[in-house]
């Protein structure tokens, strides 16, 4: 019995805490429910993520239950304000009241700029601004994003040389309506820096039954040579569903190409100019140059053999072993006194043919 009483008391004590936890979430309230153009209201917010950048806008054709019909095109964007939440996720910001481009009912629309999408609206009556009924809510299914969006895929070698970078936007959507949704069409926008996004229609082929969910993949592509910080936005029927940041790397191949072009073109022009100068300038006779690989052999003087008979009028050459003027006279033939020597007929014995015989005197 005691245990039952203790449990009942514990439940009664925890019920208020559970109610606070359930009510916890992004919320905004205004210092005044009505203001005229040129005035201002103070917007207080609680339950937001700490240190988060928020955008505050006065929007027409909107209610907290249906949101802003037409997206930020229905808001006074030029008079919006930005604020960053503190460490507890709270903020307080003074917002000037301006007339939106569409009729009221109007709200102060607060939404996150980056990160996980979150938004909250507070009703405001803009004095003097026209009021018109909201358009009828379309019957059928109503899609809602059930998970965080992400970009999948990677670049290729062509992207490094300036080809259009592409990714795939992946998210989970659910049908909160009462009828099936077949082949829904989404609008995917890409924005660079503070510029407005450029929207493209992307159709998903499939059917979402009431209460069902499915993972949806939509292609996203940028222009050629794109680099830097981009934001991918997703909306359907004018309602912004999600935003996803995308940091695109620089195509360094294009930079390398321009560097090589700046080096090759001047070198080619220099060589072409030198060829023209070499062709135009007058030619000079080239001096003969010795060969680099063959050495000139010294020429030998032709040896002339001395003739057997010296030419007439030239002095007789002296023999090398006699001094000039001391050449010996003619040598006499040896005398043969042998009795058996032959005599030529008609000659006297003991005489040499062709010589005159001499008489031998007394010795």
Q: Mean pLDDT lowest for which of 47-51, 130-134, 337-341?
A: 337-341
Which residues in 52-105 belong to E strands, given as ranges? Answer: 53-60, 62-63, 67-68, 81-84, 91-96
Mind listing the pLDDT tens digit for each residue in 28-54?
999 999 998 889 999 999 999 999 999
Q: Nearest to residue 98, comparing CAs of 137, 67, 129? A: 129
Judged against a pLDDT cut of 60, whether residue 3 lies above it is answered with: no
**CB burial string 214-248: b at 16+ within 10 A, e below:** bebebebebeeebbeebbbbbbbeebbbbbbebeb
Which residues in 155-273 belong to E strands, given as ranges? Answer: 166-175, 181-182, 185-192, 198-203, 207-208, 213-221, 228-236, 239-248
What is the structure's pLDDT at 1?
46
CA dist., res. 248 & res. 226, Å (int): 7
Judged against a pLDDT cut of 50, whether residue 266 lies above it is answered with: yes
Mind listing the pLDDT tens digit for each residue in 77-92?
999 999 999 999 999 9
Q: Which residues contact 167 (CB under 8 A, 6 or more apart)?
A: 151, 152, 153, 219, 220, 232, 246
* Contact status, residue 177 vs residue 145, Cβ threshold 8 Å: no
* Contact status, residue 143 vs residue 173, Cβ threshold 8 Å: yes
Percent of the chain topping pLDDT 70: 70
CA dist., res. 41 & res. 48, Å (int): 20
Average pLDDT of the chain, as a whole number:
78
- Burial class of residue 63, CB neighbours in 10 A (0-12, 13-18, 19+): middle
More confident call, 18 vs 351 = 351
- Distances 273 to 260, 268, 269 between C-alpha atoms, Å: 20, 9, 6
Distance of CA 141 to the CA centre of its chain: 45
- Helices of type H across 179-294: 252-280
> What are the tokens at 140?
């059928």
Q: Average pLDDT in the 207-223 region?
A: 89
DSSP state of 105: P
CA dist., res. 239 & res. 329, Å (int): 149
Q: How confident is the model at residue 20 (pLDDT cuts 50, 70, 90)?
A: very low
Q: Average pLDDT in the 236-240 region?
A: 81
- Helices of type H across the chain: 2-23, 157-160, 252-280
Percent of the chain topping pLDDT 90: 30
Judged against a pLDDT cut of 70, whether residue 23 lies above it is answered with: no
Q: Average pLDDT in the 250-263 region?
A: 85
What is the structure's pLDDT at 40?
92
Q: Which residues contact 359 (CB under 8 A, 6 or more apart)?
A: none
Judged against a pLDDT cut of 80, whether residue 327 lies above it is answered with: no
CA dist., res. 33 & res. 42, Å (int): 10
Residues in the chain: 363
Distance of CA 16 to the CA centre of its chain: 59
- Burial class of residue 76, CB neighbours in 10 A (0-12, 13-18, 19+): buried
What is the structure's pLDDT at 116?
77
């Amino acid at each position: 019995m005691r245990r039952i009483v203790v449990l009942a008391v514990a439940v009664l004590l925890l019920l208020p805490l559970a109610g606070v936890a359930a009510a916890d979430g992004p919320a905004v309230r205004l210092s005044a429910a009505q203001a005229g153009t040129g005035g201002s209201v103070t917007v207080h917010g609680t339950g937001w993520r700490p240190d988060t950048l928020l955008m505050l806008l006065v929007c027409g054709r909107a209610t907290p239950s249906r949101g802003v019909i037409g997206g930020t095109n229905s808001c006074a964007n030029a008079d919006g304000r930005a604020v960053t939440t503190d460490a507890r996720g709270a903020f307080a910001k003074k917002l000037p009241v301006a007339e939106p481009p569409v009729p009221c009912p109007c709200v102060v629309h607060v939404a996150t700029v980056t990160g996980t999408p979150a938004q909250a609206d507070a009703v405001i009556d803009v004095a003097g601004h026209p009021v018109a009924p909201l358009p009828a809510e379309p019957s059928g299914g109503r899609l809602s994003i059930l998970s965080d969006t992400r970009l999948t895929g990677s670049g290729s070698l062509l992207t490094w040389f300036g080809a259009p970078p592409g990714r795939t936007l992946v998210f989970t959507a659910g049908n909160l309506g009462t009828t099936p949704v077949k082949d829904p069409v989404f609008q995917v926008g890409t924005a660079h820096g503070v510029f407005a996004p450029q929207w493209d229609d992307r159709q998903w082929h499939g059917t979402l039954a009431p209460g069902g969910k499915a993972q949806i993949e939509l292609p996203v592509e940028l222009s050629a040579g794109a680099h830097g910080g981009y934001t991918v936005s997703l909306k359907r029927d004018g309602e912004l569903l999600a935003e996803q940041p995308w940091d695109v790397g620089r195509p360094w191949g294009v930079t390398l190409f321009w560097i090589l072009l700046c080096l090759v073109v001047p070198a080619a022009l220099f060589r072409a100019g030198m060829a023209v100068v070499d062709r135009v300038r007058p030619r000079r006779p080239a001096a003969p140059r010795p060969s680099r690989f063959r050495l000139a052999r010294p020429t030998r003087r032709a040896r002339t053999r001395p003739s057997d008979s010296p030419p007439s009028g030239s002095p007789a050459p002296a023999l090398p072993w006699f001094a000039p003027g001391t050449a010996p006279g003619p040598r006499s033939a040896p005398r043969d006194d042998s009795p058996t020597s032959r005599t030529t007929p008609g000659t006297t014995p003991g005489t040499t043919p062709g010589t005159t015989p001499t008489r031998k005197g007394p010795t």
